[in-house]
A and B are shown apart, each in its own frame.
Chain A
Amino acid sequence: MGRGALLVLADGRFPAGGHAHSGGAEEAVRAGRITGAADLEAFCRGRLHTAGLVAAALAAAAAAGADPAELDAAADARTPSPALRLAARKLGRQLMRAARATWPSPELDAVARAFPKGAHQPVVLGLTARAAGLGPSDAAYCAVYESVSGPATAVVRLLSLDPFEATAVLARLAPELDLVVDRAVAAGTAVPPALPAASAPLLELGAEIHAAWPVRLFAS
């Protein structure tokens, strides 16, 4: 399988729970750090090169056949915020449900059994790509695209930002997505994997602040 399956998995409407998460954008909007398209682009660029890179490397490694349990532990070690770890596992569990229904595979069943409350989403994403007959680069592309498309669509809802402007932000970032995928695949498929540990402290702090709000639109 090839591009057809990749489009199915990368589709923003793939029913894996992502629509309820803003990737930190809701907190950043409230804090005044995102007020329009220019701020959104900067926010997405930062997220791409930190959380996006790490997620893509994990996804690539999982797609290449690395041990999911080891990758899951590596993801935990790279996610200081408990709220983000919880969100990543919830999203992993939700993606697992969609993946098992769309590309049934004994490997997915085994990981679902080992992680009843969910493994980290990028790990499940890599395994899903594998079940769909896709490779490490495809998995990394899905991860980096999600890392910026989630905040962009959330900001359209949060700020009533012009959707054309938000999509243009994503288009401007596209060449950087390619570069980050190259780095992530090289790291994730190295033997042994040399997973990056790029961190975005403000995203981690923001996630903790957001999780404590009594009222919010997005789950993270």
Chain B
Amino acid sequence: MHLDHSHHGPAAVGADARRADGTRRALRIGLGGPVGSGKTATVAALCRALRDELSLAVVTNDIYTREDAEFLLREAVLPPERITAVETGACPHTAIRDDISANLEAVEDLEDAVGPLDLVLVESGGDNLTATFSKGLVDAQIFVIDVAGGDDIPRKGGPGVTTADLLIVNKTDLAPYVGSDLARMAADAKAQRAELPVVFQSLRGADGVRDVAAWVRARLGAWTA
């Protein structure tokens, strides 16, 4: 159903759980993490795993405008009208945390254009360990690091590693080649995050995104309950 704002009053202001016409909006999940850790690959794998059961859309926040969006388009994980790239003025963390207006607009425009949606994945451009999403933009956030970025990252902590609703340690298949100690990473992550979940994943194998997809399904279940 196309939602015409002129008939339903002004658009919602921020994190309101309901759209202007009173319907519940899509669950929004943010994915952040350092450059090259596998955020876009995880988004692509999630789209493939979930697109047959859910109505999905993706917003990318790239340093250079459309790189990640174009990767997703090339991989044909979703139809092009379900992928929007937001320009971030060289500052992805500003666009996902300090000034979320362009991202909120992108999410709402996707819901208007291709909705109703169950889930919107908002991917940050690669950034540093302090980048987190505003609660005004997303309902839950995933922080993606990888074993090749150094096995001391969980120990270093930072808001992403410490507070994200899910921590993904990606590219576990590379661990033997880069000398990363997965057990140490798991112990450090546990120390930083207490009961918050951590998934070790490799997208090389079949169904590598299985655990993360299951986590997303559980969040969606809680959102729509």
Residues of A within 8 A of B (CB): 13, 15-22, 90, 93-95, 97-98, 100-101, 109, 112-114, 116, 154, 157-158, 214-219
Contacts and interface: CB of A to CB of B under 8 A. Distances in A.
A19 B64 contact: no
A100 B90 CA distance: 27
B99 A109 contact: no
A90 B66 CA distance: 18
Given A17-B99, A113-B9, A215-B64, A93 B105 contact: yes
Interface stretch (B10-18, B40-48, B162-170, B206-214): B10-18
Query: Top 10 nearest A-B pairs by Cβ distance?
Result: A112-B10, A94-B101, A20-B89, A116-B5, A219-B87, A15-B99, A17-B101, A217-B90, A101-B13, A157-B90
A92 to B, nearest CB: 11
Interface of B: 4-6, 9-11, 13-14, 63-67, 86-91, 94-95, 98-102, 104-105
Given A15-B100, A20-B89, A157-B90, A113 B105 contact: no
26 contacts: A15-B98, A15-B99, A15-B100, A16-B99, A19-B95, A19-B98, A19-B99, A21-B89, A94-B105, A97-B105, A98-B101, A100-B10, A100-B13, A101-B14, A109-B9, A109-B10, A113-B9, A116-B4, A116-B5, A116-B6, A116-B11, A214-B66, A217-B64, A217-B87, A217-B89, A219-B89
B6 A113 contact: yes
Interface centre among A18, A112, A217 (most CB of B within 10 A): A217
Contacts of A217: 63-65, 87-90
A154 B4 CA distance: 35
A11 B88 CA distance: 19
Nearest to B102: A17
Nearest to B4: A116
Given A154-B89, A218-B89, A97 B13 contact: yes
Contact of A19 (B14, B65, B91): B91
A116 B105 CA distance: 11
B65 A216 contact: yes
Interface centre among B6, B9, B67, B89 (most CB of A within 10 A): B89
A17 B5 CA distance: 21
Contact of B101 (A97, A154, A157): A97
B64 A20 contact: no
A19 B100 contact: no
B132 to A, nearest CB: 16
B101 A15 contact: yes
A112 B108 CA distance: 14
A90 B89 CA distance: 15
B5 A16 contact: no
Contacts of A158: 90
B88 to A, nearest CB: 6
A98 B11 CA distance: 12
Contact of B89 (A93, A94, A157, A214): A157
Given A97-B101, A101-B14, A217-B63, 10 more contacts: A15-B98, A20-B87, A20-B95, A98-B101, A116-B6, A116-B11, A158-B90, A216-B64, A216-B87, A218-B89
A20 B13 contact: no
A22 B102 contact: no
Contacts of B95: 19-20
Contacts of A93: 105
Nearest to A21: B89
A101 B15 CA distance: 11
A219 B102 contact: yes
A97 B104 contact: yes
A32 to B, nearest CB: 19
A109 to B, nearest CB: 5
Contacts of A16: 99, 101
A114 B11 CA distance: 11
A219 to B, nearest CB: 4
A20 B95 CA distance: 8
Contacts of B64: 215-217
